[in-house]
Homo-oligomer: A and B are copies of this chain.
Amino acid sequence: MNSTTPLTVGEHPHASFPEGVELDCGVTLAPVDIAYCTYGQLSANKDNAILICHAFTGDQYVAETHPLTGKPGWWERMVGPGKPIDTNRFFVICSNVLGGCMGSTGPRSPRTDGQEAPGELWGTAFPPITIRDMVRAQHKLVRSLGIERLFAVVGGSMGGMQVLEWAVTYPQMMRAVMPIATAPFHSAQNIAFNEVGRQAIIADPDWRGGRYWEAGVVPARGLAVARMMAHITYLSEEVLTRKFGRRMRRGPVGGQGPEGPVSTFGDIFEVESYLRYQGSSFVRRFDANSYLSITRAMDWFDIAADHDGDLTPAFAGTAVRFCVVSFSSDWLFPTSAARTLARALNRAAANVSFVEIETDKGHDAFLLEEPDFDRTVRGFLCGVAEHAGLF
Contact = CB atoms under 8 A, between A and B. Distances in A.
A302 B232 contact: no
B305 A253 contact: no
Which label, helix, strand, loop or mixed, suits the secondary structure of the A interface? helix
A204 interface: yes
A257 to B, nearest CB: 11
Interface residues of A, number: 64
Interface string A211-228: 000000000011011001
A254 B25 contact: yes
Interface of A: 23-26, 124, 126, 128, 130, 185-189, 191-193, 195-196, 199-200, 202-205, 221-222, 224-225, 228-229, 232, 235, 237, 240-241, 243-246, 252-254, 261-265, 267-269, 271-272, 275-276, 279, 292-293, 296, 299-300, 302, 305, 331, 334
Contact of A203 (B204, B240, B264): B204
Q: Copies of this chain, how many?
A: 2
Contact of A232 (B130, B189, B269, B293): B189
B128 A264 contact: yes
Given A191-B269, A193-B229, A193-B232, 19 more contacts: A25-B253, A25-B254, A124-B263, A128-B253, A187-B237, A188-B243, A188-B269, A195-B271, A199-B221, A199-B224, A200-B200, A200-B203, A203-B204, A203-B225, A205-B205, A229-B229, A252-B305, A268-B299, A269-B299
B276 A199 contact: yes
B293 A264 contact: yes
Nearest to A188: B240
Contacts of A272: 191-192, 195
A259 to B, nearest CB: 14
Given A204-B203, A292-B265, A293-B264, A232 B276 contact: no
